[in-house]
Structure 1
């Protein structure tokens, strides 16, 4: 570890990640995304925009025996993901708009993504280049969805975590062959609007659309003290690596 990196524990220490001290740093969102994927041993997983590998490696820690692949356009983050994976995570340095032929020829049982949340036409850029690339939507959200849909196998699933206000855009961008759509809204506290959603869709799925009750992250109706206030279900996901049931 150098002065520019920190080593951070996820899933109660089962996953340890080197991350930039300054810049984009993985938090709760990729852990929740990983927990929502109903993968089984022997399946293949593609993490689009994998960053330092948080989502893919948390999923791999919960479900041993997965073949994990990540795509990351920022080489520094990709190298960290490779190092963090210690051989568990294949990392491809590429832009979603220009995936190498070797990747375009493959399909996966699960494709997951935590795309950048913010449209920079309506906001201010971050000062750190790595953080800006991770947070700012330089590649349009429909492109993420199109690539995910192409790379998933028939009957395979795609999973996205994103801002709740972008849900209509995600639903509109999903190709018609992506069905069995399920949406889990996520709210910081009871009585508040959902801020995030996790969306799951199956290639060639035919089941009806399902909108689940909100997942509440924190106890109480407001922040009372600087301490862990996650509800027990969420704490089990974040600390113990439990599966997040829709």
Structure 2
């Protein structure tokens, strides 16, 4: 029996136990193990996406989580990263089609997880930028902070997430984008102007700051990024050469 065969048998409930364990007592124990695996992975998923669990209810989440677990078994024993595919998977999960904000809420929760576990680096500050000449500012190569994540939203995902989690200051916010950062080792979620995600993407690919900010409200985007600690200090976290 290969490892792949065993994993298939564990995750697909319609499959019989592997031939090597079809003795009645062993098969019974295998079915208990099979159920425990799916339940434990679903519980890990629920812990990672508490707002989604609250929105759909525990019974529905358990059934939905089981579907996801069988389609996306863990690829690593580190459960802190399990479920990264969940937001995109929700987009194609027909039973939640009437809740179009659900994938974006899940994306916010996933981005918060990634920010929490990301490497640390000192942020670039407005005071540091103010010391630069205008020409140097425009051509500055600066990387996003390792914990920074930006998401485009077309649904009121930030408001829905904030209402579920109990963040009243954000419960009325419907920004075009959401910025997640981790200043002082605490994950924070911020409303962000349009263009924030594309700016971070451009910076991550080595585009100079002036070009990355573009022509649409660059001052607003830069103020948002600096205020949230979303840019890394280039002296400590330099651009790749």
Larger Rg: 2
TM-score bracket, shorter-length normalisation: under 0.3
Which protein has the bigger helix share?
2
TM-score (norm 1): 0.24
Which protein has the bigger strand share?
1
